Structures are given as C-alpha cells and as structure tokens.
Amino acid sequence: MAVAEHEEFTLHTTRVGDDGPRVVFLHGLFGQGKNFTTIAKGLAPDFSSLLVDLPNHGRSGWTDRIRYAELADIVAAHLRTGFAAQGPIHLVGHSMGGKVAMALALRHPDLVDRLVVVDISPVDSADMSEFEHLLGSLATLDLATLTSRGEADRQLTERIPNRTVRGFLLQNLRSGDDGFFWQANLDLLLRELPSIAGFIDTDVTPFDHPVLWVAGARSPYVKPEYGPAMRELFPRTRLLTVKDAGHWVHSEQPAAFTSALKVFLAQDAGG
C-alpha cells in the first residue's frame, strides 16, 4: 500500500503484482480501489496493477468540490512520481472513475498507453436519480444511535432491496472510538451529484491511443447516441457490450471482463 501527496493531498493506493505491464484501476462513485482486487489478481502474473482510492473515497483525502479535471490532475501527479515514473501505464476506469480516466487521458496523454472506459460516457449523465436515491438513503441513517453494521443493513433493506448493492455501499461504513462514520465523503458526494453527472470541457486534443469502451448490456449509461461524442474524443475506440451485465460489469461478469482486458491490453500498438 502507498500514500502520495499532491499539494498536501493524500492519495491511497494498493499494488497487486510486481511484473509485467502496469495497469491502474479507478473505481466508481462510493467505491474503493479494492473493488478491483479480483480483476487485478486475475491479470497477474502477466500484469501488475495499482488500485486507487479516488479523492473523497476509501483512505484517500477529501476535497471541497468535485471537478473531473482536478481529480484527474491529482491522480496524474501521483502516477508521475510512482507507478508511471518509468513510462506510460494502462488505465481502467469504471463509472465516475471512467470519467476521471477519460479526463486524465485527455489532459495527460503522455501517461496513458491504453485506456479502458467501463460503463460510462463522456457526456453529461442525464439521469442521476439512482445514485441520488442510493446516497440519499445512506444519509437517512442516524450514525449516532447505530449499534452495528447489521442494524444499518436492516434499516436500509426497504429503501435498497438489493442485498449486493447494500453490501457495496456499506463497505464505506466504519466504526471507531466515537461510533460509526462514513469513510467516504458522503455529504460532499451527495451535494456534488450535478457535477459528478457532468464532464470536462471537451475542447481538447483527442486521445489517439487505443481505447476499449465496455458497456453492460442491461445498463443505460452507454447509449448509441453517445458514440459520436466518444469517437470524437477517442477516435481509436472499440465498443464491447457484455451480456448479462448491468452497470457494475466487472463485479457481475468478472471472468468475461478479465478476459477482455487481457486480450485488449496484450495487443500490439497497432491494434
């Protein structure tokens, strides 16, 4: 595990594997770097991976606002002094992390060899109601009176019936000497959902390296009408739609996702 400072900002990362081409993973909203542990282990020993806790998530520091350009610059500064110090890396980002990954590739193209964008598009997300509901549901918990994680799970059951989704969200609930607290910056993330739904100013030079755009077949975040925007910024994009997967493609279909990564990242530069 490593912690990096960028203008007094702490970024927490975990490395998986020591050999082979280097792959950086950026998780989605209210996730953590460890969400990609299974995928990273599946890539080893052919690849070494870096699992990043994005700002306002996991054990990384908090910011005062959410702007994708700023988040991308924080991650880029960390990579330059560490994992990418010897040359460009492959970058994989899911959902919110996918937008950070796209912004980083566009703003710091020298750092990125190949880019994988998972179930998100370089456009303003039209509907954030699902995430507003999920984070809003977490905010209803009275942490001061909470006695156990199991109690939190029971209180959320009616609002969030899906047990897997509840478990994913409750990984952010921690207990300390003063009781329970959210490890992620819940108040800021809920308040900044309109910014999280947006993207960066796209008046930028396109990223001309290979890009794999992965979509879940049951997810609404990659639509045919978003294709032109993706290809305008990332002209060497190919789209892969994963069957029987929703928004969390890598956790719903880990074998198919890992296999697709291996194939794409192992291709020669002309691929």
**166-192: b (≥16 Cβ within 10 Å) or e:** bebbbbbbeeeeeebebbbbbeebbeb
Residue in 90, 108, 209, 247 annotated catalytic: 247
Q: Is 53 a catalytic residue?
A: no
Residue in 187, 195, 208, 244 annotated catalytic: 187
Residue in 48, 49, 60, 95 annotated catalytic: 95
Q: Positive or negative, the Cα torsion across 85, 91, 94, 97?
A: positive
**39-63: b (≥16 Cβ within 10 Å) or e:** bbebbeeebbbbbbbbbbbbebbeb
Nearest in space to 196 (alpha carbons), one of 118, 117, 95, 108: 95
Nearest in space to 169 (alpha carbons), one of 130, 206, 217, 199: 130
Indicate the helix (H) or strand (E) that contains 38: helix 37-43
Tokens representing 140 are 């209803």
What are residue 86's phi and psi, to 5 degrees? -95, 5
- In the three-class reduction of DSSP (H, G, I as helix; E, B as strand; rest coil), residue 34 is classed as helix
Q: Is 187 a catalytic residue?
A: yes
Q: Is 95 a catalytic residue?
A: yes
Burial of 146 (0-12, 13-18, 19+ CB in 10 A): middle
**112-143: b (≥16 Cβ within 10 Å) or e:** bbbbbbbbbbbbebeeeeebeebbebbeebee
Other CB atoms within 10 Å distance of the CB of residue 33: 27
The set of catalytic residues is 95, 187, 247
